[in-house]
Structure 1
Amino acid sequence: MARAVTTQRKAINTLIAWIVGLLIFFPILWIFILSFHSEGDAIKSPLEVITSTWTFESYATVQERSNYFRHFWNSVVISVGSTVLGLIIAVPSAWAMAFVPGKRTKDVLMWMLSTKMLPPVGVLLPIYLICQNLGLLDTRIALVFILMMINLPIIIWMLYTYFREIPGEILEAARMDGASLREEVIYVLLPMAVPGIASTLLLNIILAWNEAFWTLTLTAAKAAPLTAFIASYSSPEGLFYAKLSAASIMAIAPILIMGWFSQKQLVRGLTFGAVK
């Protein structure tokens, strides 16, 4: 029998949820406010900032100084390309681990996850030299492959978890009906795991979109994504708070909009198989 929840309890829970939500969202809100003020107003006290004149000056200056759409396109290519390439590799890998398990499956999964514990700077020099020798510095191809390899353990882990929730008897029935391995994966497994695949896709696009270490290290101008676009407004002369805030809002707006419209699919995928 379900436990009754009083109106007072609901009100307290709602209030706590709003307070936590506002605390988490406040930095983005403050950056948004600063982006609509001049540099002189941005360094004033919080109350003076809010009551001062709002203007699009910072956005206009940022667009004049930088080619926003070129950085935006680089981010789209790098994040989507690395995620799709990772899914192509991860789907058969996760299928093999979920439905043809071996004694070392858990060991392999833990080994893959352990690679995420290594600080990126630990492999910076060899990766930089490889890109330099292959002529791939400041190219989107290099970043696509590097971010794919960085996020591949997460993709495989997530897909493995979702695939484990699918009854193996369904795949066995497909084999008995004459389905080949390719048909089994494409026409039976993938349609049943669409929520999990969608959440994996969205989450890894966000991770690749926000990656800063490798994008700042391996790019200069041609392949620089929006993370490098933001960093360009931090200089030895100091921080340009208003312009930096405007650049940050322009960089995070696309991913926020995508997350807003796909939140139901993301939650559905992340809770896939949670309720038996």
Structure 2
Amino acid sequence: MARAVTPSRKAFTTVVAGLLGLMMFFPVLWIFILSFKSEGDAIKAPMEILFNTGWTTESYGAVQERSDYFKHFWNSVIISVGSTVLGLAVAIPAAWAMAFVPGKRTKDVLMWMLSTKMLPPVGVLVPIYLIFRDLGLLDSRVGLVFVLMMINLPIIIWMLYTYFREIPGEILEAARMDGASLRNEVIYVLTPMAVPGMASTMLLNVILAWNEAFWTLNLTAANAAPLTAFIASYSSPEGLFYAKLSAASVMAIAPILIMGWFSQKQLVRGLTFGAVK
């Protein structure tokens, strides 16, 4: 029997959740506020910034004049979406094999794949940089698509494996009895049934690729630089330009924030897929 929730307990939970949400969102809110201040006002005390300074959009104008925002934006779109789509193309067959043709070492393989995420990226920076240099992939979208796909591939496979395990194997067996080939089984039977999980996997990995800074800063210079490099360009030996840096940050996170807001229902649905029997 479900436990009754008293009004006081519900109010307490709501207040705690609201405070935690505010704590997590406050850095974004503060960056948004600083982006509408002048450079002189942005370095003042917090209370003075809030109540004793004016509002201006000059930082946004300066950022657009100094940098080609839309070039960096399209680089981010191509790199994040491209790496996610390529990752799904590789991960779907891999997750299918692990979920429906399990072997004795399936769990070990999954743990080995996940363990690669525990390696500090700087540990493999030099060999990957040299490989990219020799192959002519430095400062290229193709190179970044490939490296970000490889970085996020363990997460994609793990998530898809979890979703696929929730699909009854008898459905696939029935498709085989009706004469479905392996290709048709994966494309026309398995994939449509796992759409919620695949959608949430795609959304999560687009966000991860969009926010990736280490590899994009070390493997690009100008041509393929995404929005993470666009933000970093406002931290220079000359000093930190807080207002311009905040404006650039808002311009970089706004697209992915809007996408996350409108897709949050699908994202939550996919992430909780199979959690309740």
Instruction: Report the TM-score range of the alignment, normalised by the length of the smaller protein.
Output: over 0.9
Q: Does 1:26 align with 2:26?
A: yes
Q: Give 1:173's aligned amino acid.
A: A
* Equivalent in the alignment of 1:222: 223
For 2:14 and 2:111, locate their aligned partners in 1 and report how far apart those are by CA, in whole Å.
Answer: 38
Aligned length: 276
- 1:45 Cα deviation from its structure 2 partner: 1.2
CA distance in 2, matches of 1:16, 1:116: 32
One-letter identity of the residue aligned with 1:88: A
What TM-score, normalized to structure 1? 0.99
Over the matched positions of the two proteins, sequence identity in percent amounts to 83
Deviation at 1:269, TM superposition (A): 0.2
Q: Distance between the aligned counterparts of 2:228 and 2:144, measured in 1?
A: 13
Partner SS state of residue 275, structure 2: coil
User: AA paired with 2:62?
Assistant: T
Shift, 1:17, TM fit: 0.5
| Displacement of 1:2 | 1.8
Moved over 3 A (4+): none
| Cα distance, 1:78 vs structure 2 | 0.4
Could you report, residue by residue, the CA deviation over 1:212-271 in whole angstroms, capped at 9, with x for unpaired residues? 011000100000000000000001111000000000000000000000000000000000
Deviation at 1:3, TM superposition (A): 1.3
> 1:164 maps to which residue?
165
Alignment match, 2:98: 97
Q: Distance in 2 between matches of 1:170 and 1:275?
A: 20
What displacement does 1:130 show?
0.8
CA distance in 2, matches of 1:237, 1:222: 24
Give the TM-score normalised by structure 2: 0.99
> Which residue matches 2:147?
146
The whole-number CA distance in structure 2 between the counterparts of 1:178 and 1:66 is 57
Partner of 2:49: 49
Q: CA RMSD in A?
A: 0.6
Structure 2 equivalent of residue 38 of structure 1: 38
Once the 2 structures are TM-superposed, how far is the Cα of residue 50 of structure 1 from its aligned partner? Answer: 1.4
Deviations 1:194-226 (A, max 9, x none): 110001000000010001011000100000000
2:73 partner letter: F
Deviation of 1:136 after TM superposition, in Å, equals 1.0
Task: State the match for 2:87 in structure 1.
Answer: 86
* 1:138-217 map, 5 Å: 138-217=139-218
SS in 2 for 1:223: coil
Q: Partner residue of 1:17?
A: 17
Deviations 1:90-135 (A, max 9, x none): 0000000000000010111111111111111111111111111111
Structure 2 stretches lacking a partner, 5+ long:
none
Q: How does 1:227-246 map to 2 (within 5 A)?
A: 227-246=228-247
Alpha-carbon distance in 1 for matches of 2:155, 2:5 = 37
Q: 1:263 aligns to what?
A: 264
Q: For 1:161 and 1:127, locate their aligned partners in 2 and report how far apart those are by CA, in whole Å.
A: 30
Given residue 193 of structure 1, which amino acid in structure 2 is its aligned partner? A
**How far 1:177 sits from its partner (Å)?**
1.3
Question: How far did residue 178 of structure 1 move?
Answer: 1.4
- C-alpha distance after superposition, 1:176-205 (max 9, x if no partner): 111111111111111110110001000000
Structure 1 position 47, deviation (Å): 1.7
In the alignment, residue 220 of structure 1 is paired with which amino acid?
A
What is the rounded CA distance, in whole Å, between the counterparts of 1:175 and 1:150 in structure 2?
A: 34
- Report Cα offsets for 1:11-45 as digits up to 9, x if no partner: 11100010000001000000000000100110111
